[in-house]
Chain A
Amino acid sequence: GDKVKQSPSALSLQEGTNSALRCNFSIAATTVQWFLQNPRGSLMNLFYLVPGTKENGRLKSAFDSKESYSTLHIRDAQLEDSGTYFCAAEIPGTGSNRLTFGKGTKFSLIP
């Protein structure tokens, strides 16, 4: 089965609303990264996390290694937040700095 599972697979919300994306790991992860792939296809790094929380503007992410999950919260969503969000985990035993990706959450904004 998938080592990194993202939910939901798709999300469609109105502008200005808040949302939460989740990533569950079937085995222990040491670090997590979140990426946004915009509609043009470019992948941007949003967060690099060891266990704990980080915040950047309207985005906030948390990684709980004991409970094996990570979340990405988007506050006051804007059109430029549209795209596909990927989480990826560094899993011990798979190789140094090697990430295992989830299949993504497709995020759409309704104006």
Chain B
Amino acid sequence: DMKVTQMPRYLIKRMGENVLLECGQDMSHETMYWYRQDPGLGLQLIYISYDVDSNSEGDIPKGYRVSRKKREHFSLILDSAKTNQTSVYFCASSYRGRDSDYTFGSGTRLLVI
């Protein structure tokens, strides 16, 4: 069953704590993405990864960093979380080039208090 798996589904952190969101895919997709979704703002791209150790900033990278050491795994790290990083975070993956339809994970709801 081809899918994108995100862990954890729900997370509560205190301001200033470090946060690690994990994403895995079993489709050998080269490209992976991290988005956040906020009411009224739609989906905003945080980072994109074209393959192992080949990462590029998206539209809102400030306050985030990523790690991709294996093709099937892409992590989003928040160093010293802020309350305005409370959001729903989605990971997605796709083939690179043509027929690059996205497959999304189920999302992680992060609350920073």
Any B CB within 8 A of the CB of A58:
no
B interface residues, how many (CB within 8 angstroms): 25
Tell me the interface secondary structure of chain A in the complex.
Answer: strand
> Which residue of B41, B43, B56 contacts A95 across the interface (Cβ within 8 Å)?
B56
Q: Could you tell me if A96 and B96 are in contact, using CB atoms closer than 8 angstroms?
A: yes
* Chain A hits for B103, CB < 8 A: 45
B43 and A101 contact, CB distance less than 8 A: yes
Q: Could you tell me the distance between the alpha carbons of A74 and B63 in the complex, rounded to whole angstroms?
A: 40
A98 and B45 contact, Cβ closer than 8 Å, known pairs A43-B90, A45-B101, A45-B102: yes
Cα–Cα distance between A96 and B33 once the two chains are bound (Å)? 12
Interface of B is mostly: strand
Residue numbers in A under 8 Å from B31 (CB-CB): 96-97
Indicate which residue in A41, A45, A98, A102 contacts B107 across the interface (CB closer than 8 Å).
A41
Set of chain A residues within 8 Å of B56, measured between Cβ atoms: 95
B64 at the interface (CB under 8 A from A): no
* B82-113 near A? 1/0 per residue, CB < 8 Å: 00000010101010110111111011000000
Would you call A83 an interface residue if the criterion is a C-beta within 8 Å of the partner chain's C-beta atoms?
A: no
Q: Is B21 part of the binding interface, using a Cβ–Cβ cutoff of 8 Å?
A: no
Mask of A60-104 contacts with B, CB within 8 angstroms, 1/0: 000000000000000000000000001010100001111101111
A35-B104 contact, Cβ under 8 Å, with A48-B99, A95-B48, A97-B31: yes
A42 at the B interface (CB under 8 A): yes
B48: min CB distance to chain A, Å: 6
Q: How far is the CA of A111 from the CA of B95 in the complex (A)?
A: 39
Within 8 A of A (CB), among B15-51: 31, 40-45, 48, 50
Contact A43 B104 (CB under 8 A): yes
Q: Which residues of A contact B (CB under 8 A)?
A: 31, 33, 35, 41-45, 48, 86, 88, 90, 95-99, 101-104
Interface residues of B (CB under 8 A from A): 31, 40-45, 48, 50, 56, 58, 88, 90, 92, 94, 96-97, 99-104, 106-107
Q: Given known contacts A41-B106, A48-B101, A101-B42, what 5 new A-B pairs fall within 8 Å (CB)?
A: A31-B100, A35-B102, A45-B101, A45-B104, A96-B96
